[in-house]
Each structure stands twice: as structure tokens, then as C-alpha cells.
Amino acid sequence: MAGGTMTRTRKGKPGCKQAWRYAHGMTQDEAAERCNSLTRDGEYLLTGKRISEYGLWPPSRSQPGVQLLRRLGHAYETSPNEPTDLLDRMHLPR
């Protein structure tokens, strides 16, 4: 622990969001397309690049919102909480 803070990372291993995408055999673009098919008019549309950025969070700065995590859960045919892990949930706003 340096400077009183502890950095938690996945040490190069895929996070839960990536693992769910891999388990469904989806590319980043396919996952974005699937999420976009679940959007309502006016909602933010995703790109494969954004799926990649969200898949690396945390510790990346691209934090997905709760609504997006719900969409990922639906896209991966599971509950909204399943595509997240403890590290993700520790960094979500309360």
C-alpha cells in the first residue's frame, strides 16, 4: 500500500464483463449491436470500441452507468448484476 491507497486490478485477466462476452462468442461490435437492439429511442448507442473500454473498467476511466450494465445483462441473457464482479461493484456510485 503506497500513499495510503490500494489499487485493485485484475492483473491482465479478463473482467467479468469481458468473460460474459467471450462466453457468448461475441465480438465487441456484436455485443454493441446486441445492446443497441435493446435501446429505446434517444438512448446512447454503443460502439465496439466503447464495449472494449467498458470491459476494462475498473481500473480504466470509462465507467459504465447502471443502465448500461442492465443492458449488458439483457444482451448476455442474464440478470443485470451478473456481468459485474466484486471489483466492479466496489467502484459503482452508491
The string of pLDDT tens digits covering residues 33-46 is 999 998 887 678 89
User: pLDDT per residue over 44-87, tens digit each?
Assistant: 889 999 999 988 888 778 888 888 888 999 999 998 888 888 88
Contact between residue 20 and residue 82 where contact means Cβ atoms under 8 Å apart: yes
The residues pairing with 5 across neighbouring beta strands, listed in sequence order, are: 2
CA-CA distance, 81 to 78, in Å (whole number)? 8
d(CA 21, CA 25): 6
